[in-house]
Amino acid sequence: MKKKNKTERIDIQNGTTKHDSKVERDQEPGCEMKDSSMIDAEKALERLISSTFPPFKAKATAPDEKPAGMKVCIHRGTQQIGGTCIEIESQGARIVLDVGLPLDADPNGGHKTLLPPVQGFREMVPPFSLKAVFISHPHQDHYGLVHLVNPLVPIYMGEAAFRILHTARHFMHGGWPYTAPCFMYHEKPIQAGPFTVTPYAVDHSAFDSYALLVEAGGKRLFYTADFRGHGNTAYRFENLVRNPPPDIDVLLMEGSTIGREGDERRYPTEAELIAPMADVMRATPGMVLTWASSQNIDRIVSLSKACAQAGRTLVIDFYTAEVLRATGNRSIIGGVLDKARIFVPEWQRRRVINKALFKEIGRYYPQRIYPEGLPAVKGKSTLLYRPSMFRDLAKADCLSGAHLVYSLWEGYLEQASLKAHLAELGEMGIHRTNIHTSGHASVPDLRRFAQALAPKALVPVHTFQAGRYPELFDNVVPRQDGEWWEV
C-alpha cells in the first residue's frame, strides 16, 4: 500500500505549518522510513515553533453572524502632539502603529517608564498575539521608544527611513535597533495575522513617510500619521484626495496645525521658500547661516536651489551629507549632495575617531572645506547651521557680516536655550529672518482630506485641539488615551 509523504514548510510569521501539495509524491514500498527517534525530534521541534509563534486561526463566521470586528486603543495621542502609540486588536491578534517619544520627555533618558502598557512590548515569553509594529516615519515622536520593544516583535517601516535612522545613530542620542526591520512600500499590502496593512506614501517634512490603511474583521481604519499637502511631494496628497481608499469606518487624523494660526491660513509651498531665501543671500555681505533640520530633505533641496539662484555654494556638515546619501535618491545625491561643500565641526571630527568612520568621511575629501578656508568664501556661501557649530565658526573668524535664516517651527523660539543663543548672535550683529513652512497639513487641507475619505467616524489624534474638531469636520468621535473602543 502506498503512503503519502508530504514536504512541509514553516511560515514563521504566522506560526503555521503548511503542506506543499506540489511536491507531494508516492513513497514506494521498501523505501527507507524515519525511525521513531527522528519522528519524536521533529514533533518536539514543531511543538516549540508552534508555542513560540502560535498559528493564527480566524473564527469561522456563520452566515447570520457579524464579522469579528476591530478594537482600538490610542495609548497616547488624543490630547497631545508627539509620543503617538495606537494599538489595534482583532480576533485575538494585535498590531501597533507608532511607538513615539513624547516631545516633553527628558532628553537625558529614563524613557522605559514612557513605554505604553502594550502586552508583548516587554514580555519575552510565548504565546505572542502581538503580530507587528508599524512605524509611519522617522521622527522621534513616532519611533523614539521602539528600541525598548521586545526584539522578537517584527518592526515595519520605510526602507529609506531606516537607512536615515541607521546613519543618524552615529551622530545622535536616542535608541534605534541596529538590525534591519521589515520594510514597507507604497501600496504594497502587508499581512500580519488577520490584519492587512497597506502603506500610502505621504508628503511630510520627514523623508519616506507613510499613512496606513488597516483592514481586519470586516472593518477598515485609516491612520494619516503626519502629513501635509504643500511640500515637494504634494502630488501624493492630491492623489489621495482624488482617489481615496473607499469605505473607511474610522479615520485617525492628525491636527498639529489646528489652533496655531487662523483656520483658513494657507501655508507657503516648499517651492515658494526659494525666492525669499535667495533674496536674503543676495542682500547679505557675509555668510548666510540657515538653521534647519538635517533630516528635512525638502528644506535642504529648497536651500540648494536658492543657492543656485543667488550664486552661492551650499555648505553642509558631515552628518547632513550622510543623511542625504542615505535617502538613496539620485536627484538628491546628484543635485544637492554632490554640489555641496562639506564642513566637519570639531565634535564630528571626534566622532569620526571614536566611531571609526574613516571610510565614510573619506568619501567627501574632494568636497571638504576646513575652518581656515571659511573666511575667504563667507560672502559666497550658505551654511546649513546648528548652534553646535557656533564655536567652530567664531574661532574661524568667518561670522562678520553674517545673517541668520531661521527655518524651523517658530514655537521653538520660546525655549530659553534658543533665546539665549539668538541673543548671543545678536550681540555679534547677526540678525534673523524667519523663512519656513509647516511640515503638517493646513486646516483647509485637513478639511479636503476628511471630506474625500468621508469616514463613518473621525477620531482626533496627534493634536492639542481635539475639542475643536467638531467645529471643523463631520462625524467626529473624540476618544481618550487608554480607552478601548469598537470600530
**Concatenated DSSP letters of 32-85:** PPPPHHHHHHHHHHHHHHHHHSPPP-PPP--TTSPP---EEEEEE-SSSSB--E
Return the higher-pLDDT residue of 24 and 183: 183
Mean pLDDT across 105-125:
84
Amino acid symbol at 226: D
User: Band of the pLDDT at 204, cuts 50, 70, 90?
Assistant: very high
DSSP letters spanning 222-263: EE--S--SSSTTHHHHHHHHHSPPS--SEEEEE-TTTTTS-T
pTM of the model: 0.85
Residue 176: the pLDDT is 61
List the domain boundaries for the chain. 3-51, 71-263+440-486, 271-434
Please report the pLDDT score of residue 32 as a whole number: 37
**pLDDT, tens digit, 9 for 90 and up, residues 254-264:** 999 998 877 78
Number of other CB atoms surrounding residue 409 within 10 Å: 15
24, with CB counted inside 10 A (0-12, 13-18, 19+), is: exposed
Number of Cβ within 10 Å of residue 369's Cβ equals 18
- Residue pLDDT, tens place only, 209-243: 999 999 999 999 999 999 999 999 999 999 999 99
3-state SS assignment for residue 6: coil
Band of pLDDT at residue 44, cut at 50, 70 and 90? very low
pLDDT, one tens digit per residue, over 418-445 is 999 999 999 999 999 999 999 999 999 9
Highest mean pLDDT among 48-57, 118-127, 140-149, 361-370: 361-370
Q: What is the pLDDT of residue 264?
A: 80
Give the Cα separation of 313 and 370 in Å (integer): 15
The per-residue pLDDT for range 74-100, each reduced to its tens digit, is: 999 999 999 999 999 999 999 999 999
Distance CA 441, CA 300 (A): 20
Coil, helix or strand for 274?
A: helix
The mean of the pLDDT values for the chain is: 87
Q: Which residues contact 102 (CB under 8 A, 6 or more apart)?
A: 76, 80, 82, 83, 114, 141
The answer to whether 152 and 123 have CB atoms below 8 angstroms apart is no
Residue 16 clears pLDDT 80, i.e. is over it: no
Give the percent of the chain with pLDDT over 70. 84
Taking the domain 271-434, which CATH number applies?
3.40.50.10710
Across residues 131-143, what is the average pLDDT?
95
Range name among 2-11, 285-294, 369-378 with the lowest pLDDT average: 2-11
pLDDT for 279-313, tens place per residue?
Answer: 999 999 999 999 999 999 999 999 999 999 999 99
Distance of CA 326 to the CA centre of its chain: 14
User: What number is the average pLDDT over the span 16-30?
Assistant: 34
Work out the angle at residue 38's Cα, subtended by the Cα atoms of residues 34 and 44, and round it to the nearest 5 degrees.
Answer: 135
Among 175-179, 195-199, 459-463, the minimum mean pLDDT is found in 175-179
Residues 6+ apart with CB under 8 A from 138: 157, 158, 161, 162, 164, 165, 206, 207, 208, 209, 295
Answer whether residue 39 shows pLDDT above 70. Answer: no
Q: What is the reported pLDDT for 170?
A: 87
Q: How far is CA 145 from the centre of its chain?
A: 12
DSSP helix/strand/coil, 122: coil
How confident is the model over 351-374, as a mean pLDDT?
A: 95
Q: What fold is seen in the domain 71-263+440-486?
A: Metallo-beta-lactamase; Chain A (3.60.15)
Question: Kind of pairing, strands 209-216 and 403-406?
Answer: unpaired
Q: Residue 2: its pLDDT value, please? A: 40
